[in-house]
Amino acid sequence: MLDIQNISKTFEPGTVNEKKALRGLSLHLDRGDFVSVIGSNGAGKSTLFNAIAGVWTTDEGRILIDGEDVTFKPEPYRSKFIGRIFQDPMKGSSPSLTIEENLAIAYSTSRAGLLGRAITGRERKVFRETLAELDMGLEDRLRTPMGTLSGGQRQAVTLLMATIVTPKILLLDEHTAALDPLTAEKVISITKKIVEERNITTLMITHNMASSLELGNRTILMDDGNIAIDLKGEERENTDVERLLGLYREIKGQNFDNDRMLLS
């Protein structure tokens, strides 16, 4: 489903601020793979997502999605089949529009244009059913403005928006990091449900090392613009946080340095 071949990206090349953010990274994901991505600040995790989403073109390498070479396709083209959610719950939706209007916009991207026409009864039924699955009581609040929801509710609706038309790839960039622990747990379990039921190929950046070994079927640790550790199958099942840190030490000859990750 996703085939990344040897991609590199250097920011501000040839200046004192030059930063090699991706260094010949390759990654192959099968349909339905659910990958947890971890790594210290600045390791290149968000940059990898930007490369997949097409925010800019990589300096080297190729990116194929579902067999299509998208290396030189712009972000708006890729966004038709890539869902992406960021850390900030305020980012993914329009606060002044209602819940149903936000969902309708997401629902209509792969259909005929939405703006200027009314939401149909059939669409409203789909929205109500989808919202009911969140178990947050939002199915009875279709006409509530998005801006009045809590961060967790908003992030949950954003997740529905990103998946209401099943994406080929779902990119979650610490999408629960700004939520309180209980709400974060709730949004994670909704994520798990949607991703597993619909077999969506997913990459999820998290700062929680323990949950990165539990959620999904693969764990990738990024370091200095590349993948340092890639765990799946039986090896992953036999890996706990301590072993993961040990692997890192073996490969890098130094301790993993992210306090935030170790504490959470």
Ligand X SMILES: Nc1ncnc2c1ncn2[C@@H]1O[C@H](COP(=O)(O)OP(=O)(O)O)[C@@H](O)[C@H]1O
Kindly list the residues in this chain that would bind Mg ion in the complex (CB under 5 A): 45-46
User: Which one, 18 or 235, has the nearer CB to ligand X?
Assistant: 18
Q: Which range of residues in 39-47, 64-72, 109-117, 134-142 is near ligand X by CB under 6 A?
A: 39-47
**Shortest distance in whole angstroms from residue 61 CB to ligand X:** 16
**Shortest distance in whole angstroms from residue 11 CB to ligand X:** 3
Any contact of residue 21 with ligand X (CB under 6 A)? yes
User: Which one, 167 or 225, has the nearer CB to ligand X?
Assistant: 225
User: Which one, 82 or 149, has the nearer CB to ligand X?
Assistant: 82
Give the sign of the dihedral formed by CA 240, CA 244, CA 191, CA 183.
Answer: positive
Rounded to whole angstroms, the Cα distance separating 84 from 204 reads: 10
User: Which one, 43 or 104, has the nearer CB to Mg ion?
Assistant: 43
Q: First and final CA of the chain: distance in angstroms? A: 32
**Shortest distance in whole angstroms from residue 47 CB to ligand X:** 3
Residue 41: which of Mg ion, ligand X, none does it interact with, CB under 5 to 8 A by kind?
ligand X
User: Which one, 132 or 262, has the nearer CB to ligand X?
Assistant: 262
Cα 45 to Cα 37, 42, 80, 151, 224, distances in angstroms: 7, 7, 22, 23, 10
Number of residues counted as binding ligand X (CB under 6 A): 12
Residue 44: which of Mg ion, ligand X, none does it interact with, CB under 5 to 8 A by kind?
ligand X
**Shortest distance in whole angstroms from residue 177 CB to ligand X:** 11
Residue 150 sits at φ, ψ, to 5 deg, of: -70, 165
Any contact of residue 44 with ligand X (CB under 6 A)? yes
**Shortest distance in whole angstroms from residue 221 CB to ligand X:** 11
**Shortest distance in whole angstroms from residue 22 CB to ligand X:** 8
Residue ranges in contact with ligand X by CB under 6 A: 11-12, 19, 21, 39, 41-47
